[in-house]
Amino acid sequence: MQRPGGRSARVRTAVHQAVVELLQEGLDVSIAEVAERSGVHQATIYRRWGTIAGLINDVVIEVLRQSPVPDTGTLRGDLDAYAVQMARDLAGPFGKLFLRAALVGSENAEDQIYLLERGIQVQGMLDRHENAPTLIELMEIVQAPIYFHALVFNAPLGPEQAKSLVDRLLSLREP
Partner DNA sequence: CCCTTAACGCAAGAGACTTCGCGTTAGGAT
Partner DNA sequence: ATCCTAACGCGAAGTCTCTTGCGTTAAGGG
Positions that interact with its own copies (CB under 8 A): 96, 99-100, 102-103, 106-107, 115, 139-141, 143-145, 147-148, 151-154, 165, 168, 171-172, 175
Per partner kind, with CB cut-offs from 5 to 8 A, the member of DNA, its own copies, none near residue 36 is none
In the complex with DNA, which residue's Cβ is closer, 51 or 112? 51
Q: How far is the CB of 7 from DNA (least distance, A)?
A: 4
Q: Which residues of 89-118 are buried (b: 16+ CB within 10 A; e: fewer)?
A: bbeeebeebbbebeebbeeeeebeebeeee
Per partner kind, with CB cut-offs from 5 to 8 A, the member of its own copies, DNA, none near residue 100 is its own copies
* C-alpha count within 13 angstroms, C-beta hemisphere, residue 41: 4
Per partner kind, with CB cut-offs from 5 to 8 A, the member of DNA, its own copies, none near residue 96 is its own copies
Q: How far is CA 30 from its chain centroid?
A: 21
Chain contacts with DNA (rule: CB under 7 A): 1-8, 11-12, 30-32, 39-44, 46-48, 50-52
